[in-house]
Amino acid sequence: MSSIEEKCKNKGVRLTDQRKVIAKIMSESKDHPDVDELHKRVSYVDKKISIATVYRTVKLFEEAGILEKHDFKGGKARYEQSPDEHHDHLIDINSGEIIEFVDKDIEKLQNEVAKKLGYKLVDHKLELYGSKIKK
Amino acid sequence: MSSIEEKCKNKGVRLTDQRKVIAKIMSESKDHPDVDELHKRVSYVDKKISIATVYRTVKLFEEAGILEKHDFKGGKARYEQSPDEHHDHLIDINSGEIIEFVDKDIEKLQNEVAKKLGYKLVDHKLELYGSKIKK
DNA sequence: ATAATTGCAAATGCTTTGCTTGTGA
DNA sequence: TCACAAGCAAAGCATTTGCAATTAT
């Protein structure tokens, strides 16, 4: 059973065949596919799964905290399995490759900034866009 | 003449009546209107200006570096005049209010992170989402 | 059994575009 | 003058939704 399928069980999310396939694919994905790409991968297992179902499932999983949605540049939402510990992203503007990173110092400063402005930090989005340094 | 109109002159962007109106409204705006809202404001001055023109102009100005486009949560692009010095945004998740802030330390750390990963930082997006602390 | 889920196609919301007419430099 | 811009309506794209048929618990 995939790790996402497991999470569904724990959270009482009803499991259909389609959802199991989507759960499995997303559990195995190490990148950040958009819905089209995900549908393509899912279709390889069961070509009768419609893209509407993929959209609905991905939203369902997101609301259950199982998937994380990202709106990087490009106009299409991209998904990844919710990580155990939060990370941010650096996007290679040339290749589109996405690198994950963690920086506790930045996190801390973000909290301080919010606090200073009289706010409790609820969420944040940090995306770095860069080009590879050639050596 | 509005400050944006001035920038257009300097950059050789042709000025039409419509563009002058849009330039003026954006120069005076202290918030981050979306295209609909901007069109509404523009229509108050000249109700014959179409929303297609607003879309085209806003894109033109952005490509000329005169306006900055933001994709905050909500699905609609929002615009502000390109600031002299870069700032980031904190969005009040309850009211939608947007607060601008500058934090040099965070900027510096971002550069360091990128560098450490072998990248030259070209652009970045930092958005904080928070709720007001009641006292 | 039955409330929830699927597939399909139609609808949505934001944004872009083709085409004809109008206009700034 | 004449390449470029505006207005309009139609098209485009990602995403959502209504509905009838199907399915998980």
* Dihedral Cα A36, A38, A40, A45, nearest 10 deg: -160
CATH 3.30.1490.190 fits A88-130, yes or no: yes
Q: How many residues does chain A have?
A: 135
User: What is the domain class of A3-81 according to CATH?
Assistant: mainly alpha
* pLDDT tens readout for residues B55-90: 999 999 999 999 999 999 888 999 999 999 999 999
Query: First vs last Cα of chain B: how many Å apart?
Result: 44
pTM, full prediction = 0.90
Structure tokens at A31: 């990148």
Q: Does the beta carbon of A6 lie under 8 angstroms from any beta carbon of chain B?
A: no
Query: Which residues belong to CATH 3.30.1490.190 in chain B?
Result: 88-130
Helix A17-28 vs helix A35-45: crossing angle, to nearest 10? 110
Of A71, A113, A128, the CB nearest to B124: A128
The answer to whether the Cβ–Cβ distance between A133 and B119 falls below 8 Å is yes
Residue A135 has pLDDT above 80, yes or no: no
**Cβ neighbours of residue B95 closer than 8 Å, sequence gap 6 or more:** B132
* pLDDT tens readout for residues A15-73: 999 999 999 999 999 999 999 999 999 999 999 999 999 999 999 999 999 999 999 99
Structure tokens at B125: 């997006």
Of B73, B92, B119, the CB nearest to A130: B119
Query: Which residues belong to CATH 1.10.10.10 in chain A?
Result: 3-81
In chain A, which residues have their Cβ closer than 8 Å to the Cβ of B128? 110, 113-114, 119, 121, 123-124
* pLDDT tens readout for residues A76-99: 999 999 999 999 999 999 898 999
Do residues B127 and B99 lie in contact, with contact meaning Cβ atoms separated by under 8 Å?
Answer: no
